[in-house]
Amino acid sequence: MRPRAGSKALIREINEALVLDVVRAHRPVARARIATETGLSPATVTGITSRLLGAGLLTETDAVRSTGGRPARLLDLGTDAVLAAGVRLSDTDAYVVLVDLRGDVVASHQEPLTSTRPQDVGESVARAVAVAAASRASSTLIGVGVAVSGVVDQQYGIVRHSGSMGWENVPLQRQLTALLETPVVLDSYVNSVASGLLLFDGGLAGRNLMIFSVGASLGASVVVEGRIHRGFSGTAGGFAHSRVGTDAGRPCHCGAEDCLETWASHWGIQRELERRGVKPGSLVGCDDDVIASAADSLGTAVANAAKMFGPERVVVAFTPEMNVPALTAGTEEVFRRQYAHGTTPPPALEIAATGPSSHASGAAYTVLARLFTADTADTSDADATGARGTVTAG
């Protein structure tokens, strides 16, 4: 069969991603193990690692002695050649971090927003990224990840709905790509958090998880066999606009009433406090029944979602303004109560803290992840396949 045009370049790109992924997962690692893990020949691994060392994507560590023969030099991910930027957008600012290949934050910058108009937001993001990147001018910026609260269609680069930003169907990726002149990837807050967990927590490879974000808005990430399931138009995990049997006529920013968002998000709780004539502020010490209702709605909704999907682990991550004991403990208690008479054991539950840095770093990790991912969609003409679906060459 005649190979398609560009197939050699595609094979090289796939194999480089496979090698980088093994180094990421087992760093530092010997070339022999890379060959075993990928199914590539030792000669091919030597050629690929030489290119990656030359590009600064890999670095050699001190030699270690094996059972015999020459000492092996281990390979690790480089820290200086390339960086990814992550941006966490809120209705008040753009918080930017730069991360290296190992996932470490090496620079950050916070830029206030003049408004939430998409054009103004884009210009603020461009300024923020430029300031952060200037501090590491010797490194190459390979892309910018942007995390937005709401429903994000990553495939088409569109923010379908964001209550906190007041947006509907905003083509933010196209706008930012033109301003930044670098690849841009969009995602929701919660999927950004999930990206970070999946990329740098080796114990989650191939696992089935649900990750919930509780902050200004609510979100859920559905992880199937180690990969984020996004659904049609990015709508998987549409947790905020579900209902859990409440009927109080609370209006939601989506146009419906009594969405979970109106009961258990920071936005919803503040609106309810306003309705009661209470000045919005910290949740510490606010009306006990408001927090109890939020915990009851949230714990029930998380349990219902988990029962539908059947994950082995559930993470509920609270932002700083929502991380108050009455809410976190109440949510956990209600969640466990929902499984008290179930026929199957509940999934492992983890209550976690998250915030702007987690969202921004996670957005950067969505960019990094593409360096470690072998896209085999166009490899049907390849001559041979090794372990893990790798394409061998050279």
Tens of pLDDT, residues 23-48: 998 999 999 999 999 999 999 999 99
Distance CA 329, CA 299 (A): 10
Question: How high is the pLDDT of residue 65?
Answer: 58
> Confidence class of residue 176 from pLDDT cuts 50, 70 and 90?
very high
Question: How high is the pLDDT of residue 343?
Answer: 80
Q: Cis omega (within 30 of 0) on the bond before 28?
A: yes
User: How large is the average pLDDT for residues 118-142?
Assistant: 95
Question: How high is the pLDDT of residue 67?
Answer: 59
Handedness of CA 105, 107, 111, 116 (dihedral sign): negative
Question: How high is the pLDDT of residue 49?
Answer: 96
Tens of pLDDT, residues 212-245: 999 989 999 999 998 899 888 778 878 888 887 7
In contact, 352 and 317? CB cutoff 8 Å: yes
Tens of pLDDT, residues 363-378: 999 999 989 886 544 4
Residues whose CB is less than 8 angstroms from the CB of residue 388 and which lie 6 or more positions away in sequence, other chains included: 18, 37, 38, 39
Residues whose CB is less than 8 angstroms from the CB of residue 230 and which lie 6 or more positions away in sequence, other chains included: 154, 155, 191, 236
Of residues 185 and 284, the one with the higher pLDDT is: 185
Neighbours of 393 (CB within 10 A): 18
Question: How high is the pLDDT of residue 243?
Answer: 84
Is 387's pLDDT higher than 60?
no
CATH 3.60.60.10 is right for the domain spanning 202-356: no
Distance CA 210, CA 309 (A): 8
> Confidence class of residue 284 from pLDDT cuts 50, 70 and 90?
confident
Is 3's pLDDT higher than 80?
no
CATH no. for 7-78: 1.10.10.10
Is 294's pLDDT higher than 70?
yes
Q: Report residue 213 as tokens.
A: 């974000």
> Confidence class of residue 9 from pLDDT cuts 50, 70 and 90?
confident
CATH no. for 82-195+359-370: 3.30.420.40
User: How large is the average pLDDT for residues 163-167?
Assistant: 92
14 residue type, one letter: I
Q: Report residue 334 as tokens.
A: 């209600």
> Confidence class of residue 302 from pLDDT cuts 50, 70 and 90?
very high
Distance CA 261, CA 219 (A): 9
Query: Lowest mean pLDDT: which of 30-39, 206-215, 281-290?
Result: 281-290
User: How large is the average pLDDT for residues 131-152?
Assistant: 94
Question: 3-state SS of the chain?
Answer: CCCCCCHHHHHHHHHHHHHHHHHHHHCCECHHHHHHHHCCCHHHHHHHHHHHHHCCCEEEEEEECCCCCCCEEEEEECCCCEEEEEEEECCCEEEEEEECCCCCEEEEEEEECCCCCHHHHHHHHHHHHHHHHHCCCCCEEEEEEEEECCEEECCCCEEEEECCCCEEEECHHHHHHHHHCCCEEEEEHHHHHHHHHHHHCHHHCCCCEEEEEECCCEEEEEEECCEEECCHHHCCCCCCCCCCCCCCCCECCCCCECCHHHHHCHHHHHHHHHHCCCCCCCCCCCCHHHHHHHHHHHHHHHHHHHHHHCCCEEEEEECHHHCCHHHHHHHHHHHHHHCCCCCCCCCEEEEEECCHHHHHHHHHHHHHHHHCCCCCCCCCCCCCECHHHCECCC
Of residues 250 and 344, the one with the higher pLDDT is: 250
User: How large is the average pLDDT for residues 185-191?
Assistant: 94
- Proportion of the chain above pLDDT 90, given as a percent: 65
Residues whose CB is less than 8 angstroms from the CB of residue 138 and which lie 6 or more positions away in sequence, other chains included: 80
Average pLDDT value for the chain: 87
Tens of pLDDT, residues 46-71: 999 999 999 999 999 876 655 556 66
Is 264's pLDDT higher than 90?
yes
Topology match between the domains 82-195+359-370 and 202-356: yes
Is 299's pLDDT higher than 90?
yes
All structural domains of the chain with their residue ranges: 7-78, 82-195+359-370, 202-356
